[in-house]
């Protein structure tokens, strides 16, 4: 009897070229506790070991980190375990894979192996090391990789940093942006221009350092100016512009932290705010009211995450709020209390 059962299984699923009577199929369906009708319901559906797309981009250097922006997954079979292997490739150039199938809610956030980092990740690494002057350890922590990976890619030359080649027109566009920046701010030094557009400076530094040095402002000493500025009028004009920018940032689809640096960059007058804020009393008081500490920004992200979860008809629980808000494991008591408050409010309405 045992031999007959094994033989039926072998005939149906292992020895695919052999013929099996319909009664064997019916018996096996009954053994599984199903009916013929239920099998037909799923006849047109394909096996999706990683669920339906879009899938998450797990590039810690990208603005869309943890967002479902990858439309498809390439599924292959592991030769050792015979388990499905999914390869996820994002438009930012980041590509990773993991063995499936996904069985828990945490699995979509898991990386088995990084196949390619891509230009966005490499630009961010260059920015962290050359502009922010971070250590290898700090850069690795920021990019969610080990320190050996950072050392490896930091030591490569720009041309061999990856198989990705930047189009010539992209290089020209970046160069035009730098030239326009120098033209718009003729009195600023290279250091101040770099602070105003750090990402642009880092990109050009990595891809064409000689050109960047050639077309950057030369050091000029003993420069004086007799231009008189009406600071009261300048203050009123700047305040109006900043109010518009703040409303724009608060209306963004995803929370953006309100800082003097971000606001100054948006209004393209960051050096003015950094050097002469003491002369702009109206603007200074307004910025003191609207700018956020890290804790205040995290609380605002928590509230935003709750609204998103409700909009997506998902249960509001602690771990979902933390993940969607992009919070680290260690948060302040105020942020933790806000999460608890939001969860309680949700449960009281359910």
In a domain, 255, yes or no: yes
Q: Are residue 250 and residue 288 in the same domain, yes or no? A: yes
Which of the listed residues 292, 308, 325 is the one where a domain comes to its end?
A: 292
CB within 8 A of 335, min separation 6: which ones? 295, 298, 299, 302, 327
Which pLDDT belongs to residue 157?
41
Residue 219 Ramachandran class (φ > 0 left, ψ -120 to 50 alpha, else beta): beta
Burial class of residue 288 in the structure, from the number of CB atoms within 10 Å of its CB (0-12 exposed, 13-18 middle, 19+ buried):
exposed
Q: Are residue 88 and residue 140 in the same domain, yes or no? A: no
Band the pLDDT of 289: cuts 50, 70, 90.
very high
Q: Are residue 313 and residue 261 in the same domain, yes or no? A: no
Q: How many Cβ atoms are within 10 Å of 70's Cβ, its own excluded? A: 21
Q: Are residue 84 and residue 33 in the same domain, yes or no? A: no
In a domain, 49, yes or no: no
pTM of the model: 0.40
Query: Among candidates 111, 89, 117, 109, which has minimal Cα distance to 99?
Result: 111
Nearest 5°: CA angle at 150, between 147 and 152? 110
In a domain, 222, yes or no: no
Percent of the chain with pLDDT over 70: 85
Q: Tell me the two tokens of residue 241.
A: 């512009």
In a domain, 30, yes or no: yes
Which pLDDT belongs to residue 281?
93
Task: Classify 70 as helix, strand or coil.
Answer: strand
- The whole domain housing 269 covers 235-292
Q: How far apart are CA 266 and CA 2, in angstroms?
A: 75
Which pLDDT belongs to residue 134?
84
Q: How far apart are CA 261 and CA 273, in angstroms?
A: 9
How many domains would you assign to the chain? 6
Task: Yes or no: say if 298 and 327 are a contact pair by the CB < 8 Å rule.
Answer: yes
DSSP string, 87-153: EEE-TTS-EEEEES---STTGGG--SEEEE-HHHHHHHHHHHHHTS---HHHHHHHHTS-HHHHHHH
Q: What is the DSSP letter of 310?
A: H
Peptide bond into 84 cis (omega under 30): no
In a domain, 220, yes or no: no
Q: Are residue 151 and residue 174 in the same domain, yes or no? A: no
Which of the listed residues 267, 292, 317 is the one where a domain comes to its end?
A: 292
Burial class of residue 186 in the structure, from the number of CB atoms within 10 Å of its CB (0-12 exposed, 13-18 middle, 19+ buried):
exposed
| Structure confidence by residue, pLDDT tens digits, 165-220 | 444 557 778 888 888 888 888 888 888 888 888 888 888 887 788 888 888 887 65
In a domain, 270, yes or no: yes
Which of the listed residues 274, 292, 310 is the one where a domain comes to its end?
A: 292
**For all residues of the chain together, what is the average pLDDT?**
83
């Amino acid at each position: 009897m045992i031999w007959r059962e094994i033989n039926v299984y072998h005939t149906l699923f292992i020895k695919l070229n052999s013929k099996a009577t319909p009664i064997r199929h019916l018996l096996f369906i009954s053994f599984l506790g199903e009916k013929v009708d239920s099998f037909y319901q799923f006849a047109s559906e394909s096996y999706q070991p990683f669920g339906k797309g879009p899938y998450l981009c797990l590039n810690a250097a990208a603005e869309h980190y943890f967002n479902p922006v990858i439309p498809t997954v390439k599924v292959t079979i592991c030769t050792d375990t015979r388990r499905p292997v999914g390869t996820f490739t994002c438009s930012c150039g980041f590509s990773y894979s993991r063995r499936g199938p996904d069985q828990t809610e945490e699995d979509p956030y898991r990386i088995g192996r990084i196949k390619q980092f891509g230009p966005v990740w490499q630009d961010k690494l260059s920015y962290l090391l050359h502009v922010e002057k971070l250590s290898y350890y700090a850069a690795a922590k920021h990019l969610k990789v080990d320190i050996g990976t950072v050392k490896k890619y930091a030591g490569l030359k720009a041309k061999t940093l990856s198989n990705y080649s930047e189009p010539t027109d992209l290089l020209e566009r970046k160069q035009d942006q730098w030239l326009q920046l120098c033209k718009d701010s003729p009195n600023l030094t290279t250091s101040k221009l770099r602070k105003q557009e750090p990402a642009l400076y880092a990109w050009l530094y990595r891809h064409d350092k000689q050109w960047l040095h050639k077309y950057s402002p030369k050091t000029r000493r003993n420069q004086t100016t007799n231009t008189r500025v009406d600071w009261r009028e300048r203050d009123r004009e700047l305040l109006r512009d900043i109010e518009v920018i703040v409303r724009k940032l608060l209306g963004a689809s995803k929370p953006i932290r309100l800082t003097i640096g971000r606001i100054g960059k948006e209004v393209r007058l960051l050096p003015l705010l950094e050097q002469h804020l003491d002369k702009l009393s109206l603007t200074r008081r307004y910025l003191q009211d609207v700018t956020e500490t890290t804790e205040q920004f995290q609380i605002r992200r928590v509230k935003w995450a709750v609204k998103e979860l409700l909009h997506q008809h998902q249960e509001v629980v602690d771990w979902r709020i933390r993940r969607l808000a992009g919070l680290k494991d260690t948060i302040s008591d105020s942020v933790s209390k806000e999460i608890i408050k939001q969860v309680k409010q949700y449960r009281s309405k359910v």
